Every structure is written in C-alpha cells, then in structure tokens.
Amino acid sequence: MASAVAAKSGPIAHGEVPTFPVTIIIRRFDPEVDKEPRWVDYDLQMHGTDRVLDALHKIKWEIDGSLAFRRSCAHGVCGSDAMRINGKNRLACKTLLKDLDVSKPIYIEALKGLPLEKDLIVDMEPFFDSYRAVQPFLIASSKPKDGKERLQSAAQREIFDETTKCILCAACTSSCPVFWTDGQYFGPAAIVNAHRFIFDSRDEGAQVRMDILNDKEGVWRCRTTFNCTDACPRGIQVTKVIGEVKQAILRGKP
C-alpha cells in the first residue's frame, strides 16, 4: 500500500515521507445558514504518515477555519473524534489515510442516529442518557475491611476485562441500525458499560441493571448485525458482549 503511494508521487529523498494528493469530501452543515447538509470537497497534499484527523486539521487551519469537529487527545484515547469515514464509523485520529483508498475521494460525515449540530459535531446527549440509564458505577453496600480495597482475583477481573476498554466514543451505538430507527434502544455502548459492572464480582447491582436491560427496548432489540463490533476503535467484541448480557438475563444471574 505505502509503496504504491510512493510510486505515484515520484522519486523521493532518503528518509523523506512520501506525499500524495487526496480529495476529502465533508458533509458540512451550518445550522445558521443551511437548511440541509451539503457535501464540500477539499483537495489536499498529504503525507503517508497522516491520519484523517491531520487532513481535517489541514482543512481547518489552512483552508476553511469554519469547519467544526471535536477532538481532544488526538491519539485514540478520549473518544471525541468518532465520525463516519467512507461510510464506516471510525476515530479520525486512528485512521491512516494510506489505509483508505486515496485514489478515490474520502467521504467524511458526522455520526448517524444522533442529532446533527454542526458539520461533524452531533448532540451526544441521547447517547449519554442511555449510558446513564444502566447505572454505570460500582454499587456496593459492603465496606471493605480496614479501609482497604475490595479484593478480586485475576480470573474474576478477566471476565469483564474487555468492556473496561470502552472510551464512550459512540462509534458502536451510532453504527447500529436499530439505534437509527427511533433512538429508544439503549444501544451497544450502554450495554457494554452495563456488562462492565454486571460481571464485576465486587458489584451488587447486577440484578438492577439486568432488569433495566430486560426492557422492551433493552438487549432483545439487538439483531446481531455486528456493525458495533466492526466500529469499535478499541477492538471490543461488542456483539459478543451483548450476547453475554442476553445469556445472563436468561439465567437470571451474571
């Protein structure tokens, strides 16, 4: 892939990062001007080491400062720059341009299924509402002995290890076709974070969370389309996690 890019841009000096032209088409929306979102394209010269986020920076800093998007850490930890890149939910800061097909334009738009506010920014409140609804905090009535921590074996920790990795970027939830419909469904991210505590041996609120997810709009609306697993930038097997929560609810205990 990288060699094909280098070949296109001609001979390069030793140690120099090859550059290549790329067209980025962004679905822009300014609520004060536009009635409907519109696609705007930008032609850029980018480096082989650049990510989609670098392209967005280049546009914002050098071409059009009005472009609005979220990003904080820019290194795949904070989860603020999830967006639809060529139709798939990805973190802009973890997607290298050279891994996309740069011979064609790259389409970038805001996450689907959440209210669009401006350009690539969506209202995340519905997403956090369903996150809050599953009570994503440790519920424990017991006091640990002598003011120490609650002990847990490595095996007990392993059970929910995968779901501790969630960064709440909303890539999974906003890739879910069921979530797009009416927004009543909790969505994959909320179920992942419920899983985080349902299977935690120190937690006592599993029953409460399973009751919440045993709702009409709970885990049973999952159609196992695997969009969420594909979208997760942290590699969480989201659909498998939802399956584990379904099993737990059927068993009646974690």
Partner 1 sequence: MTVTIDSPRASTTKHHKGINLEKWGWVFMRASGVLLVVLIFGHLFVNLMIGHGVKALDFAFVGGKFSDPFWQVWDMLLLWFALIHGANGMRTVINDYAHNRLVGVVLKSFILLATIVLLTLGTLVIYTFDPCPAGSPADLLPSFCAGV
Residue 146: CB minimum distance to partner 1, A? 10
Does 205 interact with partner 1 (rule: CB under 8 A)?
yes
Does 139 interact with partner 1 (rule: CB under 8 A)?
yes
Give the separation between CA 185 and CA 152, rounded to whole angstroms: 33
Question: Is 24 within 8 Å of 42 (Cβ atoms)?
Answer: yes
Nearer to partner 1, 36 or 149 (CB): 149
Give the separation between CA 192 and CA 198, rounded to whole angstroms: 10
Does 142 interact with partner 1 (rule: CB under 8 A)?
yes
Nearer to partner 1, 7 or 140 (CB): 140
* C-alpha distance across the termini of the chain, in Å: 45
Give the separation between CA 236 and CA 110, rounded to whole angstroms: 22
- Contact pick of 52, 82, 238, 249 for partner 1 (by CB under 8 A): 249
Does 220 interact with partner 1 (rule: CB under 8 A)?
yes
Does 140 interact with partner 1 (rule: CB under 8 A)?
yes
Q: Which residues, numbered 7-66, are part of the site for partner 1 (CB under 8 A)?
A: none
SS3 at position 83: strand
Question: Is 24 within 8 Å of 44 (Cβ atoms)?
Answer: yes
- Ordered alpha helix ranges (H), the chain: 2-8, 52-58, 125-133, 154-159, 177-182, 188-198, 206-213, 227-231, 238-251
Nearer to partner 1, 68 or 139 (CB): 139
Nearer to partner 1, 218 or 233 (CB): 218
Nearer to partner 1, 107 or 180 (CB): 180
User: What single-letter amino acid sits at 52?
Assistant: V
Give the separation between CA 73 and CA 94, rounded to whole angstroms: 11
Nearer to partner 1, 110 or 213 (CB): 213
Residue 112: CB minimum distance to partner 1, A? 14
> φ and ψ at 92, to 5 degrees?
-60, -30
Does 154 interact with partner 1 (rule: CB under 8 A)?
no
Site residue total, partner 1 (CB under 8 A) = 29
Given the structure tokens 């959440």, which residue do they identify?
114
- Contact pick of 250, 251, 252, 253 for partner 1 (by CB under 8 A): 250
Does 214 interact with partner 1 (rule: CB under 8 A)?
yes
Does 241 interact with partner 1 (rule: CB under 8 A)?
no
Give the separation between CA 168 and CA 152, rounded to whole angstroms: 25
| Residues of the shown chain interacting with partner 1 in the complex, contacts defined by CB under 8 A | 135, 139-144, 147-150, 177-178, 181-182, 205, 208, 211-212, 214-216, 218, 220-221, 223, 246, 249-250
